[in-house]
């Protein structure tokens, strides 16, 4: 299995507060990597360093390296826009734009200067199919995306990311605002998507991590306490703190 992303001794600070401590982790291609841990443990901060979304936070600071296919994305001269095209992101709250379903999915291509409507139609259909949403919305693509249910909105956001053809998809608790049925759909979708993409998901739901992921990392107080295959981590945790967390002793 090839390495896709590799972080080396990653430190991250919000002002004076250190949010990540020497995090070293390897994300493997075409695998689902889950990051778990209690609130405030740094898992979301870590996720957002992988496509430089933390850049927009004032007075934040990062030390260490994030290698995407061996290239440090924080090197001088690396185009952050290019990084984010390759590493897309799905957020905790579904955040479709207040535009039509079609416009949402076509957004990225239009931004890149694609105006040919036949090509756009194709991109929209392909992305919606990939996100398992096409059959539900194909008859009213002109409808406002805000009319969709929460689960549909989240799949629309996934379709919107897929339309840009990223290599990695970061998911920040994508199901925390969804009901169990919608959650199941997203989880099934992830299994399909990992054939073509590499997925990193942050979740506070340990059952979800156990169900969907191949590899799991446990964060606590900004540190990566333990990282390994999901089966190992949940059945034979090496660290006492991991065991305490997954057995529900805190969190």
Partner 1 sequence: MSRYFADRAAKRLVFILGVSAFLILVLIAVFIFREGVPAFQELGFSLFGTKWYPSRDAFGILTMLVGSVVVTLLALALAIPLALGCAIFLAEVAPSRIRQLTRPAVELLVGIPSVVYGLVGLVVLAPLIADISGQGSGSSVLAAGIVLAIMVLPTVTSISEESLRAVPPQYKEAALAMGATQWQTIRCVLLPTARSGIIAAVILGTGRAIGETMAMVMVIGNSPIFPDSIFSPARTLTGNIALEIGHATGTHESALFATGAVLFVLVMLINSIGLVVHRRMAR
Please give the backbone phi and psi of residue 113, each rounded to the nearest 5 degrees, phi first.
95, 10
CB of 21 to partner 1, least distance (A): 25
Binding site for partner 1 (CB under 8 A): 51, 53, 56, 58, 81-85, 88-89, 91, 93, 95-99, 107-108, 110-111, 157, 160-161, 164
Question: What is the distance between the terminal CA atoms of the chain, rounded to a whole angstrom?
Answer: 32
Alpha helices in 66-164 (DSSP H): 80-86, 101-111, 117-130, 134-137, 150-162
For partner 1, give the closer residue by CB, 116 or 236.
116
CB of 217 to partner 1, least distance (A): 21
For partner 1, give the closer residue by CB, 94 or 237.
94
For partner 1, give the closer residue by CB, 42 or 166.
166
CB of 238 to partner 1, least distance (A): 34
For partner 1, give the closer residue by CB, 141 or 164.
164
Tell me the sheet residues that pair with 18: 13
Element (H, E) at 209: helix 206-212
For partner 1, give the closer residue by CB, 17 or 81.
81
CB of 109 to partner 1, least distance (A): 10
**Closest by CA position to 216, among listed 71, 42, 43:** 43
CB of 190 to partner 1, least distance (A): 18
DSSP result, 18-78: EEEEEEEEEEETT-EEEEE-STTSSHHHHHHHTTTGGGGSTTEEEEEEEEETTEETTSTT-
């Amino acid at each position: 299995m090839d390495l896709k992303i590799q972080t080396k001794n990653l430190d991250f600070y919000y002002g004076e507060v250190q949010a990540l401590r020497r995090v070293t982790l390897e994300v493997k291609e075409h695998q689902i990597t889950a990051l778990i841990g209690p609130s405030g443990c740094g898992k979301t901060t870590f996720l957002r360093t992988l496509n430089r979304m933390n850049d927009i936070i004032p007075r934040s600071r990062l030390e260490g390296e994030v290698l995407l296919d061996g290239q440090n994305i924080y090197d001088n001269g690396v185009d952050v826009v290019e990084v984010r095209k390759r590493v897309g992101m799905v957020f905790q709250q579904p955040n479709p734009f207040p535009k039509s379903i079609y416009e949402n999915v076509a957004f990225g291509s239009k931004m890149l200067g694609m105006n040919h409507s036949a090509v756009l139609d194709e991109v929209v259909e392909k992305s919606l199919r990939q996100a398992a949403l096409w059959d539900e919305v194909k008859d009213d693509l002109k409808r406002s995306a805000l009319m969709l249910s929460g689960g549909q909105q989240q799949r629309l956001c996934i379709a919107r990311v897929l339309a840009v053809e990223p290599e990695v998809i970061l998911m920040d608790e994508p199901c925390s605002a969804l009901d169990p049925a919608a959650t199941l759909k997203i989880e099934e979708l992830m299994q399909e998507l990992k054939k073509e993409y590499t997925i990193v998901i942050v979740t506070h739901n340990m059952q979800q991590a156990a169900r969907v992921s191949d590899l799991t990392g446990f964060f606590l107080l900004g540190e990566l306490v333990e990282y390994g295959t999901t089966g190992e981590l949940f059945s034979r945790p090496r660290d006492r703190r991991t065991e305490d967390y997954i057995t529900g002793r805190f969190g």
